[in-house]
Amino acid sequence: MTHILGIETSCDETAAAVVRAGEQVVSNVVSSQFAVHKPYGGVVPELASREHLRNIVPVVRAALEGAARDYSRIDAIAVTQGPGLAGALLVGVSYAKALAFAAEKPLIAVNHLEGHIHAVLLQMKAEGNENLQFPVMALVVSGGHTHLYLSSERENLWTYSNVGKTRDDAAGEAFDKVAKLLGLGYPGGPVIDRLAQHGDPHAVKFTFAQIKSPARGEKSENPGERFDFSFSGIKTAVLRYVETHGMQAAIEARRRALLEIPKPTTEDFLRLTDRGTLNLVASFQRAVIGDLVGKTLAAARSYNVETLFITGGVAANSELRTRFEERAAHEGLAVAFPSRPLSTDNAAMIAAAAYPKFLAGDFAPPEFSAEAGLVLR
Ligand code: KG4
Ligand code: ZN
């Protein structure tokens, strides 16, 4: 049975995992840097690289110990090549290269977005669901990405064609920025998810420009119809709402109060958040999810797909899951998500995505390097 050690350092999580035969997670260790970046309200690239350097050795060691294996019983090492923060990626790539060289193991380079897509497959296999119908439309929605990929597989080799992406902010970035401007801290997604359940999603009206054709001067990777997203407008709309409704003083008070609480609970957030803000948060979340669901379903119809994969950090959102399940059922499409721990960044998804490449003998040449802007094909 093939065991692959996966390593992931593309953003603010140092992660390592051992996955058996591309389908069974034997160990999965994630060291999050939330506490380091929290005071800045977002990821600071230099701090991320420094934290990866500090954490990579103990995290990889913990993943091997968790799997009760040493390097002699690992068949290959897989690492995220990109996309992501250049300095952060370099830590993982350099460490994986050194390990592969010293332990004389093959090295496999994995695209982070392909990792997110394979997190869904990992989950399906864990649930014993072998009935996957192609083609698949995969929405990768996270802090760095909002991408739609038309995906197919032939003889273990997956191919991807991008049919939509964000023109500006990623959806998760919009959650994070809106949380920050409302004094709710970082990361914003999980907090907004919990607070939105207590607000009225119809209280504030947001509209979206429907962007469907490639912008001028932009070459399309795919000749078919495009389904692009844009989330910077809604962030500005929330900011304007805050200004016109005189919410700044309450936001500042909330920000200061939350800084005093080491690990705020949902009750703490609710105690510090007024009804108007809860309504604003619920309306914002409803608008973003409505757009994600609407465009993904439209893309699925246009490309005649059988199955939807919804993955990435924002796929942990409860309302997003419910809305996708309802709409997919209505349109007769299958929809699959990773478990919540596999939705956000982890290395099990990297080891899983590496397995078909291992079978195909698709190994990284010794001179390969990290690529911050790596494209998925
Ligand atoms: O996939 P991920 O861990 O890292 C990237 O590759 O970006 O995604 C992190 C993003 C953050 O923007 C975070 O706010 C968002 O995912 N997120 C959520 C939820 N949990 C995490 N957004 C909405 N609802 C959630 N429950
Ligand atoms: Zn990610």
pLDDT for 217 beyond 80:
no
Q: What is the pLDDT of residues 187-211, one digit of tens each?
A: 899 999 999 999 999 999 987 654 4
Q: Which listed ligand is nearest to 313 at the C-alpha?
A: 1
pLDDT for 239 beyond 60:
yes
Nearest atom of ligand 1 to the alpha carbon of 10 = 6
Q: What is the pLDDT of residues 270-307, one digit of tens each?
A: 999 999 999 999 999 999 999 999 999 999 999 999 99
Residue nearest to atom 16 of ligand 1 (CA): 313
Q: Which listed ligand is nearest to 338 at the C-alpha?
A: 1
pTM, full prediction: 0.94
- For residue 219, the model assigns a pLDDT of 55
Question: Which has the higher per-residue pLDDT, 186 or 16?
Answer: 16
Our measurement of the distance from residue 199's CA atom to the centroid of its chain's CA atoms, rounded to an integer in Å, reads 25
Residue 193: CB within 6 Å of ligand 1? yes
Q: Which listed ligand is nearest to 175 at the C-alpha?
A: 1
d(CA 366, CA 272) in angstroms, rounded, equals 53
Alpha helix (H) ranges present in the chain? 34-37, 45-66, 86-103, 112-126, 171-181, 188-196, 232-244, 248-259, 266-272, 275-302, 318-331, 340-343, 348-360
Q: What is the DSSP letter of 84?
A: S
Q: What is the DSSP letter of 1?
A: -
Residue 144: CB within 6 Å of ligand 1? yes
Long-range CB pairs of 288-293 (<8 Å, 24+ gap) are: 288/171, 288/174, 288/175, 288/231, 288/234, 289/317, 289/319, 289/320, 289/323, 290/323, 291/208, 291/229, 292/139, 292/141, 292/146, 292/171, 292/229, 292/320, 293/320, 293/323, 293/324, 293/327
Q: What are phi and psi of 107, to 5 degrees?
A: -115, 135
- For residue 218, the model assigns a pLDDT of 52
> Would you say 327 and 293 are in contact if contact means Cβ atoms under 8 Å apart?
yes
Confidence of residue 337 (pLDDT cuts 50, 70, 90): very high
Residue 80: CB within 6 Å of ligand 1? no
| Token reading at 265 | 């609970």
Pocket test for ligand 1, best of 113, 314, 317, 374 (most atoms within 8 A of CB): 314
Mean pLDDT of 231-235: 93
- For residue 216, the model assigns a pLDDT of 47
Tokens 């004094």 locate to: 183
pLDDT for 213 beyond 50:
no
Question: Which has the higher per-residue pLDDT, 40 or 64?
Answer: 64
Q: Is 351 helix (H, G, I), strand (E, B) or coil?
A: helix
Mean pLDDT of 27-42: 89
Angle at 108 between CA 105 and CA 109, to 5 degrees: 145
Asked if the domains at 3-117+343-360 and 134-305 fall in one CATH topology, the answer is: yes
Pocket test for ligand 1, best of 141, 142, 234 (most atoms within 8 A of CB): 142
Q: Share the mean pLDDT of the chain.
A: 94
Q: What is the pLDDT of residues 114-157, one digit of tens each?
A: 999 999 999 999 999 888 999 999 999 999 999 999 999 988 78
Domain at 3-117+343-360, CATH from 3.10.450.50, 3.30.420.40, 3.30.460.80, 3.10.20.310: 3.30.420.40
Residue 314: CB within 6 Å of ligand 1? yes
What does the domain layout of the chain look like in residue ranges?
Answer: 3-117+343-360, 134-305
| Token reading at 154 | 């032939």
| Token reading at 151 | 């995906």
Question: Which has the higher per-residue pLDDT, 294 or 42?
Answer: 294
Q: Which of 178-182, 215-219, 269-273, 274-278 has the lowest mean pLDDT?
A: 215-219
Our measurement of the distance from residue 140's CA atom to the centroid of its chain's CA atoms, rounded to an integer in Å, reads 6
Q: What is the pLDDT of residues 51-63, one digit of tens each?
A: 999 999 999 999 9
Q: What number does CATH give the domain 134-305?
A: 3.30.420.40
End-to-end CA gap in the chain: 28
